Amino acid sequence: MSTPHATSAMRAVVFAYHNVGARCLRVLLAQGMRVELVVTHPDDPSENLWFERVADVAAEHGIPVMLVDQGLDEQQVARVRALQPDYLFSFYFRRMLPSAVLQAPRVAALNMHGSLLPRYRGRVPVNWAVLHGERETGATLHLMVDKPDAGDIVAQQAVPILPDDTAREVFDKVTVAAELALWQVLPRLLRGDVPRLPNRLDQGSYFGGRKPEDGRIDWNQPASRVYNLIRAVAPPYPGAFFETGGRRLIVARARPAAPALAAALDPLAAPGPHLCSGALLARCGDGGVLHLQQVWDSAQPGLPLELQRIAQLVPNPS
């Protein structure tokens, strides 16, 4: 792609969704990028829409919006190409873009990914990072190529993952990281100058998507692994769960049990949840104990169960 002279405002087409999409679109506009078209997804009535709508941000600024569900059809591809933008940006857009679209911008096609590439390429990188007990993640702006998350790195911003952070809390940090990374590099992009650092895929990792059923808890696992799972899929994600008394219970919030509370649990208690000292505790495979501070019935998500109801469901409380 050629580099134009920065004699007028750079023009862009933005593919965006979710909070990262909304915030990064605002950054582009704040620094003077001329956004000709915003491409986003229609709302999914089956999804918990806890995030900002990109379409609303576009409407605030009078930017045309094109809705894409499964993928771009030929007419939509032609519409993007006809705009002849200088840049194409993808901010948490949920579909792979075809080569014909990636080749449309005169300067570059850039994507914002929610990890420190080359680590955690692929789907739901924040959830995977929390699941694996990482202490740091971030956001990476990179060039788009046909292979996902594989192009050269343009900008990065790291954020910490604290021991008790849930995926939602980390995602909020990554949203800010994406905003900062874009804000810092955008003056160069507006001059047609795109920094490039190698994205060394052989030093990274790739992960696919996750399904709600992946949140099933195996109490025979070490406490740290169970706790990471709970944090990684805590609401607004589907939640880690176990089944007891014929019900599926979602662990909405947990912590490693305080030493005095953990000591109250019978050392011979089997792996799994137990009521003890007025608390719901869970013994794990390595002997570690978690305090399940808030539990929901999957049939009534968002409504914490009282201990009296839990006592009817948890067998053989100690």
Residue 207, SS3 per DSSP: strand
Residue 290 above 50 pLDDT? yes
How much is the pLDDT for 133? 98
Confidence of residue 305 (pLDDT cuts 50, 70, 90): very high
What distance in Å separates the CA atoms of residue 201 and residue 119, rounded to the nearest whole number?
Answer: 8
Per-residue tokens: 191: 């001059």
Question: What are φ and ψ of residue 58, in 5° steps?
Answer: -60, -40
What distance in Å separates the CA atoms of residue 256 and residue 291, rounded to the nearest whole number?
Answer: 6
Helix axes 18-30 and 167-190, enclosed angle (nearest 10) = 30
Confidence of residue 51 (pLDDT cuts 50, 70, 90): confident
Q: What angle do CA 87, 91, 97 make, to 5 degrees?
A: 70
What are the CA-CA distances from residue 175 to residues 17, 152, 291, 297 (Å)? Answer: 12, 21, 30, 30
What distance in Å separates the CA atoms of residue 213 and residue 70, rounded to the nearest whole number?
Answer: 23
Residue 1 above 70 pLDDT? no
Helix axes 167-190 and 223-233, enclosed angle (nearest 10) = 60
How much is the pLDDT for 5? 42
Confidence of residue 94 (pLDDT cuts 50, 70, 90): confident
Phi-psi map region of 148: left, alpha, beta (phi>0 left; psi -120 to 50 alpha): beta
End-to-end CA distance of the chain: give it in Å, rounded: 68
Mean pLDDT of 84-101: 95
Which pLDDT tens digit goes with each residue over 18-34?
999 999 999 999 999 99
Which pLDDT tens digit goes with each residue over 32-44?
999 999 999 998 7
Tokens 């620094």 belong to: 31
Residue 113 is which amino acid? Answer: H
Per-residue tokens: 239: 């939640």
Per-residue tokens: 210: 């996750």
Give pTM, 2 decimals: 0.91
In the chain, % of residues over pLDDT 70: 96
DSSP code, position 215: G
Residue 17 above 70 pLDDT? yes
What distance in Å separates the CA atoms of residue 69 and residue 95, rounded to the nearest whole number?
Answer: 8
Residue 78, number of CB atoms within 10 A of its CB: 11
Helix (H) or strand (E) holding 126: helix 125-131
Which pLDDT tens digit goes with each residue over 95-120?
899 999 999 999 999 999 999 999 99
Nearest in space to 68 (alpha carbons), one of 21, 24, 115: 21
The alpha-carbon radius of gyration of the chain (Å, integer) is: 23
Which pLDDT tens digit goes with each residue over 140-179?
999 999 999 999 999 999 999 999 999 999 999 999 999 9
Mean pLDDT of 174-194: 98
Confidence of residue 190 (pLDDT cuts 50, 70, 90): very high
C-beta of residue 92 within 8 angstroms of C-beta of residue 175: no
What distance in Å separates the CA atoms of residue 203 and residue 116, rounded to the nearest whole number?
Answer: 12
What distance in Å separates the CA atoms of residue 85 and residue 73, rounded to the nearest whole number?
Answer: 19
How much is the pLDDT for 313? 86
Which pLDDT tens digit goes with each residue over 215-242?
999 999 999 999 999 999 999 999 999 9
Can you give the length of the chain in residues? 318
How much is the pLDDT for 316? 52
What distance in Å separates the CA atoms of residue 317 and residue 244, rounded to the nearest whole number?
Answer: 12
Mean pLDDT of the chain, nearest integer: 93
C-beta of residue 96 within 8 angstroms of C-beta of residue 90: no
What domains can be seen in the chain, in order of their start residue?
11-207 (3.40.50.170), 212-313 (3.10.25.10)
Mean pLDDT of 232-256: 95
How much is the pLDDT for 315? 62
Residue 317 above 90 pLDDT? no
What distance in Å separates the CA atoms of residue 104 and residue 240, rounded to the nearest whole number?
Answer: 42
How much is the pLDDT for 43? 84
